[in-house]
């Protein structure tokens, strides 16, 4: 996906064939849920998933916004 004239981070990771895991947070930005993306080295899929699990435990998981 092209954002303006730049490639977004997810596209760069896909093109480089690197594993990544999206992690929802309890933070809101302009009323919308925000998240982070963990990227790992080649063939380290389990590492990003484990990291996402640890982050979720630390942040107390995702909470649906009101509405």
Instruction: Supply the pLDDT for residue 61.
Output: 64
The answer, as to whether pTM is greater than 0.75, is no
Summarize pLDDT for 15-59 with one digit per residue, the tens.
888 999 988 877 778 877 788 889 999 999 999 999 999 998 888
Rg of the chain (C-alpha set): 14
Q: Which residues contact 36 (CB under 8 A, 6 or more apart)?
A: 22, 23, 25, 55
Instruction: Supply the pLDDT for residue 31.
Output: 78
């Amino acid at each position: 996906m092209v954002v303006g004239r730049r490639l977004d981070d997810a596209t760069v990771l896909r093109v480089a064939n690197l594993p990544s895991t999206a992690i929802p947070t309890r933070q809101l930005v302009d009323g919308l849920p925000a998240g982070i993306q963990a990227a790992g080295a080649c063939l380290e899929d389990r590492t990003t998933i484990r990291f996402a699990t640890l982050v979720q435990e630390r942040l107390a998981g995702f909470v649906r916004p009101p509405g």
